[in-house]
Amino acid sequence: MDQSSVSSTPARRAIVLGGKTGLFGSTLARTLRDAGWIVHAPGREDVDLFSEDALAAYIDACEPDMVFNTVAYTQVDKAEDEPEQARRVNRGLPANLGQVLRTRPVRCLHISTDFVFNGKQSTPYTVEDTPDPQSVYGSTKLEGELALLERIPDRAIIARTAWLFGPGKKNFVQTILGLCRERSSLNVVHDQVGSPTYTVDLAAMCLQLAKHETSGLYHLVNAGQASWCELAAEAAALAELPCAVHAIPSNEYPQKACRPAYSVLDTSRFTETTGITPRPWIQALRDYIFHDLWNTELIQNTSQHSR
């Protein structure tokens, strides 16, 4: 074959905002790099995300095909006391990003949350269901979705996800395993039910959506549902930590922000677009514990198994 006739597809280029330090952003940046993308993952010190001029200059210098925004004000309870700070990040950044991308042929995938729903439903929330956030965090995240969609409706994907666990940064599962090592029993709420999701699987789902010329709302979570108590008990059991996990109602663990009692997300639009059905969260949790955490102090010396 005449080698001169072989054309190689140029690597796709991405910016992952939050990709340097975020729980999800860091895994997304790695996943894209592993898939051959050229990835820029700026931290706070690299670009002022809230300045239109600075963000535009950064984007022009990187020449991305796609900008992924994982940056958010994610402290759900603290947001109740700092609504303006939360709004600045959760609405202000997607608005600024949308403004900059309006005049540039760049797509955007923005991460949002199950907390845009009020939790009063008892069947999984679809992308057609009406949001009704009950917290400052949820309200400001919804404002961010709308601000981006308003500015670049045909080039924006809003990917709502939930209950993240994964490598690289403290998360609920890691916290629970730490407590299970120190205590013989633990109380965890049982009356909030959601969609536990592995960041590695979420990143793979985002990569799939990036390959499709699509836009609008998507729900991206692992399959199945669990209460916080079930998730904690399953993690402790997998790690073989001898700690009893007791179910308690939310009113015995008061928190400042109101959380949805039920926020399971329906991923059928993702499956319709990509042909892929996300795997169950329990399977993903096994991978997290046995691949990502196995050699950490959280579960070292606690199991009879050798792996």
Ligand X SMILES: NC(=O)c1ccc[n+]([C@@H]2O[C@H](COP(=O)([O-])OP(=O)(O)OC[C@H]3O[C@@H](n4cnc5c(N)ncnc54)[C@H](OP(=O)(O)O)[C@@H]3O)[C@@H](O)[C@H]2O)c1
Active site residues: 137
Instruction: State the minimum distance, in angstroms, from the CB of residue 152 to ligand X.
Output: 17
Residue nearest to ligand X (CB): 22
Task: List the one residue from 14, 15, 16, 24 that touches ligand X (CB under 6 A).
Answer: 24
Q: What does the DSSP 8-state code read for residue 39?
A: E
Q: Which of 116, 162, 177, 229 binds ligand X (CB under 6 A)?
A: 162
Nearest to 229 by CA among 281, 194, 198: 194
- In terms of Cα–Cα distance, which of 209, 218, 69, 94 is closest to 148? 94
Q: Does 22 bind ligand X (CB under 6 A)?
A: yes
Q: Give the whole-angstrom CA distance, residue 168 versus residue 190.
A: 27
How many residues interact with ligand X (rule CB under 6 A)?
A: 24
**H-helix segments, the chain:** 23-34, 52-62, 78-81, 83-87, 93-101, 136-151, 172-182, 199-211, 228-238, 268-274, 281-287
Cβ distance to ligand X smaller for residue 20 or 269: 20
Min dist CB 162 to ligand X, Å, is: 5
Burial class (CB in 10 A: 0-12, 13-18, 19+), 125: buried
Residue with tokens 């239109």: 52
| Of 303, 187, 184, nearest in space to 247 by CA | 187
What is the smallest separation between the CB atom of 2 and ligand X, expressed in angstroms?
A: 47
How near is the Cβ of 220 to ligand X at its closest, in Å? 10
Query: How far from the centroid of its chain's Cα atoms is residue 170's Cα?
Result: 14
Stretch that binds ligand X, among 8-16, 18-26, 256-264, 273-281 (CB under 6 A): 18-26
- Report phi then psi at 99, rounded to 5: -60, -45
Can you say whether residue 212 is alpha, beta or left, with left for phi > 0 and alpha for psi between -120 and 50 degrees?
beta
Distance CA 183, CA 187 (A): 11
Residue 21 touches ligand X, criterion: CB under 6 A: yes
Q: Which is nearer to ligand X, 146 or 303 (CB)?
A: 146
140 touching ligand X, by CB under 6 A? no
111 binds ligand X (CB under 6 A): yes
Binding range to ligand X, per CB under 6 A, among 14-22, 98-106, 178-186, 240-248: 14-22
Q: Which is nearer to ligand X, 22 or 133 (CB)?
A: 22
Q: Is 46 in the site for ligand X (CB under 6 A)?
A: no
Residue type, 10: P
CB 236 within 8 A of CB 176: yes
232 is a site residue for ligand X (CB under 6 A): no
From residue 261 to residue 280, what is the string marking binding to ligand X with x (rule CB under 6 A)? --------------------
Shortest CB 3 distance to ligand X, Å: 43
Task: Say which residues have a Cβ less than 8 Å from residue 30's Cβ, sequence separation at least 6.
Answer: 203
**Closest distance between ligand X and the C-beta of residue 270, in Å?**
15
Of the chain, the end-to-end C-alpha distance in Å amounts to 46
Q: Which stretch binds ligand X (CB under 6 A): 156-164, 212-220, 223-231, 241-249?
A: 156-164
**Site residues for ligand X, window 55-74 (CB under 6 A)?**
70-74
Q: Which residues bind ligand X (CB under 6 A)?
A: 18, 21-25, 43-44, 49, 70-74, 89, 111, 113-114, 141, 161-164, 169
